Chains A and B, each alone.
Chain A
Amino acid sequence: MEILVCVKRVPQVGGKIVVTADEQDVDTRMSGFTVSPHEECAVEEAVRLVEQHGGSVTVLTLGPAEAADQLRDMLALGANRAELLETDGREWGPIATAEAIVAAARAGGPYDLLLFGNEAADTGDYQVGVRVAHALGLPCVTGIKNLEVSDSGARARREYRGVEEIYDIALPAVVSVKEGINLPRYPSLPGRLRAKRATIEQTAPEWHAEGLRKERLRVPAGEVKRAEILGTGADAVPALVALLDDLGVL
């Protein structure tokens, strides 16, 4: 089966998130970049499906030239082909992003399965996969934590408010997945070497403005406080017990 997985390059933020002086971006001078967590799981899922059923995995991203690094990381996990839709560094909205992916899916396909992460770690727009499905006339399921593919189609599962929902869908289809669907493998050394040498296909779609426009980013007020220190080591236990008592949880 032929699988397309769409991933996004996002800042690797740790204990603190800092906004650039022009308030337009996350300051990444002190951090690296990574693939959104849900999407790394989408790549792992695609690689497992191809190991099981044959075929190939194409990983695609829309981003700056440097996003080739993230594509190589995904090739090292076992993806076979990589495609970069190169931007000039401007932030793309979900409508233009979906359009560019649709054009790439038409040109590079046909695909039996298009996998997405449920939402990107940074913008959290929740919609690119659904827009792509509509444009291609494909069925679509989101938030998926378990996926089985057979000759007759796919069975996808997710949990919603403590109840498991099961979706039986025909292929081709769009499926957006969540972290937890699998535990991504560590890239192997041969995988890394192959990824380093691999050719990345490149195109440069055209940016366009959308109805939703970011004015500025800011860190929520009142986020930073200083904890009241109850004590050190086991000596703090009486104070901790008194606190739990106060909170009514004992």
Chain B
Amino acid sequence: MTVLCLVERDGDGAADVSLRALTFARSLAESGAGGAAAVVFGPGAPAELSAYGVADAYAVEAEGYAPQAWGHALAGLAAELNATAVVAAGTDRGSEVLAHLAAITGLPMAANCVSAAMTAPGAFQLVRHRWAGSLLEDSVLDASPALLTVAVDAVAAVPASAPAETTVHAYQPALDEADLRVSATESAERSAGVSLATARVVVGGGRGVGGPDGFGPLEELAGLLGGTVGVSRVVTSEGWRPHKQQVGQTGTRISPELYLACGISGAIQHMAGCMSAKNIVAVNTDPDAPIISRADYAVIGDLNEVIPALIAAIRDRS
């Protein structure tokens, strides 16, 4: 009886999203699904596993990222350990590997879960995201093991009440040639500048910016605040700004200390991307815009007037 959790690495440690997935796995385990164990790819285990109460970690022999091979390895381990559930963070990798596992085993897979409890052997009660978290779905899952990805925006990483001593077991998966026909080569290129996903301040621009030439003041303000510019979907689909600046369900999820959303109406597609922002300040001419009912603070006014005045005030201070 084991809840297996795929733990992605970030340098020498565990990725933050995987610590959230481990917290989710531990809570599922406590509902009667057994103990939570970690699966990592490559030798050794990240030190954080101990604080998250992981007694057993399985280090799968692997060279780089090969999604189908990873899925196959998880299938082998889940069978060997008689796992009640296999859990992964709902990242591009976690979702992809679990989808391979689901396809290999023919089992159902529930994506973007917020919570899960085992109600009887092979029966689970779930809450999961729809519309990237704008809706919740209560559902039941009959499967053994249950294959679940975690909506990492909605689950905090919480260490276990008592740490565990982690034993690392080396695991050699039985792979076919076909499992390795798709594998990632990492490009040497690294993105420069402040990353939208991890920026502490994001200055957002939407339709209210008016056109591709209106982003100068937003860039300037973002620079002054040590942040970066994000935009709504209409801005990228009009071709005003590149898609990599899009905040939203089909763009980047952000979690800054401050999101200053200028001329953005607040469609749910956009709000799904900024729901993790600690503080949302909206600048909008329309006091009835949907974003006003989702923001913490608002300035009712034209961003083309407010933002230059704000820049001037900040420059005056220094």
A interface residue numbers (CB < 8 A to B): 13-17, 19, 26, 37-38, 93-95, 119, 121-127, 130-131, 133-135, 137, 139-143, 157-170, 178-180, 183-184, 210-220, 223-234, 236-238, 240-241, 243-244, 247-250
Interface assignment of B168: CB less than 8 Å from any CB of chain A: no
Assess whether B111 is in contact with A124, with CB atoms less than 8 Å apart.
yes
Do A226 and B293 form a contact, CB below 8 Å, given A94-B109, A180-B246, A233-B306? yes
Assess whether B68 is in contact with A140, with CB atoms less than 8 Å apart.
yes
> How far apart are the CA atoms of A219 and B103 in the complex, in Å?
31
Residues of A within 8 A of B309 (CB): 234, 237
Do A134 and B104 form a contact, CB below 8 Å, given A122-B131, A127-B99, A217-B135? yes
Name the one of A139, A163, A168 contacting B186, with C-beta atoms under 8 angstroms.
Answer: A163
Interface centre among B178, B233, B293 (most CB of A within 10 A): B293
Assess whether B187 is in contact with A164, with CB atoms less than 8 Å apart.
yes
The 8 closest A-B pairs by CB, nearest first: A15-B290, A180-B243, A233-B301, A134-B103, A164-B187, A211-B108, A227-B298, A130-B99
Chain B 214-234 residues near chain A, CB threshold 8 A: 225-227, 233
| Interface SS, B side | mixed
Nearest CB of chain A from residue B13's CB, rounded to whole Å: 13
Name the one of A167, A180, A211, A229 contacting B251, with C-beta atoms under 8 angstroms.
Answer: A180
> Please, could you name 13 A-B residue pairs with CB atoms under 8 Å apart, sorted by A?
A119-B95, A122-B130, A124-B129, A126-B90, A130-B103, A140-B68, A179-B243, A180-B236, A180-B246, A236-B299, A240-B281, A244-B314, A250-B314
Do A215 and B250 form a contact, CB below 8 Å, given A15-B267, A228-B298, A240-B310? no
Residues of B within 8 A of A122 (CB): 130-131
- Of all chain B residues, the one with the shortest Cβ separation from A170 is B181
Name the one of B178, B184, B190 contacting A167, with C-beta atoms under 8 angstroms.
Answer: B184
Do A167 and B306 form a contact, CB below 8 Å, given A134-B100, A237-B313, A241-B314? no
Interface assignment of B255: CB less than 8 Å from any CB of chain A: no
Assess whether B130 is in contact with A124, with CB atoms less than 8 Å apart.
yes
Assess whether A142 is in contact with B267, with CB atoms less than 8 Å apart.
no
> How far apart are the CA atoms of A231 and B292 in the complex, in Å?
13
> How far apart are the CA atoms of A208 and B171 in the complex, in Å?
37
Residues of A within 8 A of B102 (CB): 127, 130-131
Assess whether A166 is in contact with B187, with CB atoms less than 8 Å apart.
yes
Residues of B within 8 A of A212 (CB): 108-110, 126, 139-141, 143
Name the one of A162, A178, A230, A244 contacting B258, with C-beta atoms under 8 angstroms.
Answer: A244
Name the one of A169, A216, A247 contacting B182, with C-beta atoms under 8 angstroms.
Answer: A169
Assess whether A15 is in contact with B265, with CB atoms less than 8 Å apart.
yes
- Of all chain B residues, the one with the shortest Cβ separation from A166 is B185
Residues of A within 8 A of B183 (CB): 167
Residues of B within 8 A of A124 (CB): 111-112, 129-132
Residues of B within 8 A of A125 (CB): 109, 111
Interface assignment of B237: CB less than 8 Å from any CB of chain A: yes
Residues of A within 8 A of B226 (CB): 249
Nearest CB of chain A from residue B307's CB, rounded to whole Å: 10
> How far apart are the CA atoms of A160 and B10 in the complex, in Å?
12
Interface assignment of B279: CB less than 8 Å from any CB of chain A: yes
Name the one of A159, A162, A179, A220 contacting B250, with C-beta atoms under 8 angstroms.
Answer: A179
Do A220 and B268 form a contact, CB below 8 Å, given A166-B187, A233-B302? no
Known contacts A126-B96, A163-B190, A232-B300; 5 further A-B pairs (Cβ under 8 A) = A140-B100, A211-B108, A213-B139, A214-B139, A217-B136
> How far apart are the CA atoms of A240 and B303 in the complex, in Å?
13
Assess whether B250 is in contact with A38, with CB atoms less than 8 Å apart.
yes
> How far apart are the CA atoms of A248 and B298 in the complex, in Å?
18
